[in-house]
Homo-oligomer: A and B are copies of this chain.
Amino acid sequence: MRGVPYALEGSFPHTRFTVRGPALNYHSMSADNLRDTQAELRKLYDELCALGLSLDITRGKPAPDQLDLSNGLLGLPGEDDYLDAAGTDTRNYGGIAGLKELREIFGELLGVDAANLIAFGNSSLTLMHDVTVAALLHGTPDSERPWAKEDTVKFLCPAPGYDRHFAITESFGIEMITVPMNPDGPDVAAITELVAADPSIKGLWVVPTYSNPTGVTFSADVTKALLAVPAAAADFRIYWDNAYAVHTLVEAPPVPHPVLEWAAEAGHPNRVYVLGSTSKITFAGAGVAFFGSSADNLAWFTKHLGISTIGPDKVNQLRHVRFFGDADGVRAHMAKHRELLAPKFALVLDILDDRLGDAKVADWSHPEGGYFINLDVLDGAAKRTIELAKNAGIALTAAGSTYPYKQDPRDHNIRLAPTYPGIDDLRTAMEGVATCVLLAATETLLTTHTD
């Protein structure tokens, strides 16, 4: 990723004017008008390509200035500091549940009692993977047999969703069923019908706060409904990946739903796995991760985990305890992330609004947190948009990535990740993306135009 001359930005206002023309809404344009618009866009696109860009907005990675916020960790805990609050030597083996004081801090932020939370490893993705492996090879406490012994295992996948979730299930040959996302969470009616009828449906992937990529935060009603759904499989599990629980772009994040309590009240105490990590709070890869569930599930999972490990990196856990102090320390830290991220999200939304607002060939999310902006282009135009961007040196998340098997049935969804690039690169990239969206839209519309 490198900077480009500011001159590029200067060229856009003129072009925007040209593109807008008399018929602002592409759907109302005559074929001739569309062709003229396309010719203008093509010129603009050629200029874009001539810049020889190499920009990347594919992944939800923290930017270097965000990572700098946690540089204090690099010297912690310090040479004489290695005992936790209980007096345990964090430098030695053991303690598979992780440091209690760390679990208390993040339990508060995840809405999970510290007693129901373990702190383990550097990646919640790994915990999701490993709890699935344990179910496949051993069965959950509620399974009749190991999932690997079932003819078929299926997971429900609200989509657009998180590609790495889908990659886990796909890697194990678990059949994925797409269910729609609504503005308040996944489609409960669709889910209810499916899980009530089919005992082979064992799981549901969700990102309940500032969802990847839609930005949707699940309402209490949807959450309670998901926890209460009568499932044909006693071992139906909700992977409650609360990756963005504290990653707000507004004043404060939503209060986390007490899902373990609600699940127990609904008569399904073992239904939920709560996941989280500090990958996008401190350092991605050098953070700490969390798994929360019922006592039964924790006993089961740590039993199997204990076969593969003698314990987590407790020194890194202590490092995080020292760095944050308490949950308010994390909240204060997230406010600094927000200061860095909010302008980037605002910039992307401004450009989308400016460039695409009138043409009516795209919709996009206005997230209050998380790492993504969800961009829906015309049906059939996503792959082409991404291809055009790629040829202009702008890498977007691969087409279809937000759907199971990387198959977006409408070929319309694009995940934008504004966090990593610097603000100038981001502006350049997004102006370019807007051009590609418009150009692809003219192609799509002209294909079917009945002028």
Contacts and interface: CB of A to CB of B under 8 A. Distances in A.
B304 A284 contact: no
Interface string A63-77: 010010011111111
B308 A130 contact: yes
Contact of A310 (B62, B72, B125, B316): B125
Which range holds the interface residue count of chain A?
35 or more
Contact of A74 (B78, B93, B137): B78
Given A75-B78, A307-B129, A285 B171 contact: no
Contacts of A75: 75-76, 78-79
Given A75-B79, A93-B59, A123 B310 contact: yes
A167 B78 CA distance: 36
Nearest to A146: B148
Identical subunits present: 2
A283 interface: yes
A225 interface: no
A92 B283 contact: yes
Nearest to A92: B284
Nearest to A319: B74
A315 B282 CA distance: 12
Interface string A102-137: 000000000000000000011101100110010011
Nearest to A168: B307
A80 interface: yes
A90 B76 CA distance: 16
A74 B81 CA distance: 8
Interface in A257-284: 279, 283-284
